[in-house]
Amino acid sequence: MEVFQSLITSPLFWIAIVAIYTLKKGIYFVPQNRGYVIYTLGRYDKTLRAGLNFIIPFVQTVAADRNLKEQSLDISAQAAITKDNITLLLDGILFMKVTDAAAATNNITDYKVSVVQLAMTTMRNAIGEMELDECFQSRDAINAKILSAMTEATAPWGVQVTRYEIKDI
């Protein structure tokens, strides 16, 4: 008991505890297909890639942990009006992945919600340019049109839309 009490009151013991804690806060093991966005004193500094990484504890912080794998997002059913004023109910699925974790963190508030909203408006625009017969016959053309518009719009967000499919008309 006496040895334990002298150990706890020893300054070297507390210095060792603080040193171990600081060392632990400075080492990060980033898993495969993840990107850790690092801020230094509140400003973007770098993105940590997979593997062993070191940061300066208490000065640098992990602001975001981004998944770099391809993800699928469900586009809920919505009404769209064709060129010949017929209302269609459409839903779809979108495949996307984050290509730049820093841009997905710093350039947009919530990239998933934004991509879904953009997909919905782009789908309505694509349907609005076609007549009813064209919509049923050229699903691939609609998908391609939506994909090209989304690829261009999501590039500044660090997001790449890889595929878009209309599930049901």
pLDDT at 21 over 70: yes
pLDDT for 69-104, tens place per residue? 999 988 888 888 888 888 888 888 999 999 999 998
pLDDT-derived band at 1 (thresholds 50, 70, 90) equals low
Please report which confidence band the pLDDT of residue 167 belongs to, taking 50, 70 and 90 as the band edges: confident
Per-residue pLDDT, averaged over 96-122, amounts to 90
Question: What amino acid is encoded at 9 in this protein?
Answer: T
pLDDT at 32: 92
The whole-angstrom distance between residue 153's C-alpha and the CA centroid of its chain comes to: 15
- Taking the model in full, what pTM does it have? 0.78
Q: What is the pLDDT of residues 24-68, one digit of tens each?
A: 888 999 999 999 999 999 899 999 999 999 999 989 989 989 999
Give the DSSP letter string of 28-46: EEEPTTEEEEEEETTEEEE
3-state secondary structure at position 42 = coil
